[in-house]
Amino acid sequence: MSGLKEYTNIQVANNREQVEYHVREILKLIGEDVEREGLLETPARVARMYEEIFAGYDADPREVLGVTFDEKHEELVIVKDIVYYSQCEHHMAPFFGKIHIGYIPSGKIAGLSKFARLVEAVTRRLQVQERITSQIADILEEVLDPNGVMVVVEGEHLCMCARGVKKPGSKTVTSAVRGHFRNSAALRSEFLALIKE
């Protein structure tokens, strides 16, 4: 988990020279002059950026939830509007948005800030939005053993907005439902209504 706390990908940090070399080579291959003033420090900047945006590889998302607490609360808990940034594994282009998490405890809860840490651990790696959605739901189900989990992820993908079909402003919404949420339309509706407030 240390990588996430320091926002550092240890692999990139340990291989910084190689990363910088390859970034420099890519710049050459796209027709840039790597000796011009604006690009002299670009390979080093990209390596430092990769240390941060891929910090999730050095975090175990299950451990990020940390210590759980015994608590008799068995009603809906929602942590909404958790902003995330990730990188599409198909084009290595950024995508970003908000994640909303709801769960019904069955005697065990986690500290509220841990949900944001979980989002960071899952999104700070090459990803697809569908996997992010399922991974968060599955990890919460595994670690907290709640009566139900629902996760909704909203995303704006630059691989779709800035290239390809070029449809800026378009959003993708994915959801995962587990336990009571799967069987109760009323519970799903309550969650969806509360995240829109």
Q: What is the pLDDT of residues 82-99, one digit of tens each?
A: 999 999 999 999 999 999
Which tens digit of pLDDT belongs to each residue from 7-41?
688 999 899 999 999 999 999 999 999 999 999 99
Q: Determine which one of 71, 90, 130, 142 is catalytic.
A: 90
Q: What domains are there in the chain, each with its CATH number? A: 2-57 (1.10.286.10), 67-196 (3.30.1130.10)
Residue 67: predicted pLDDT: 83
Task: Tell me, yes or no, if 73 is annotated catalytic.
Answer: no
Choosing from 52, 91, 154, 156, which is the catalytic residue? 91
pTM above 0.85, yes or no: yes
Confidence of residue 3 (pLDDT cuts 50, 70, 90): very low
Task: Check whether 88 is labelled as a binding-site residue.
Answer: yes
Q: Check 32, 156, 159, 190 and give the catalytic one.
A: 159
Catalytic residue list contains 90: yes
**76-80 contacts: CB < 8 A, separation 24 or more?**
76/102, 76/103, 76/104, 76/187, 76/190, 76/191, 76/194, 77/102, 77/103, 77/104, 77/105, 77/109, 78/102, 78/191, 78/194, 78/195, 79/112, 79/115, 79/116, 80/194, 80/195
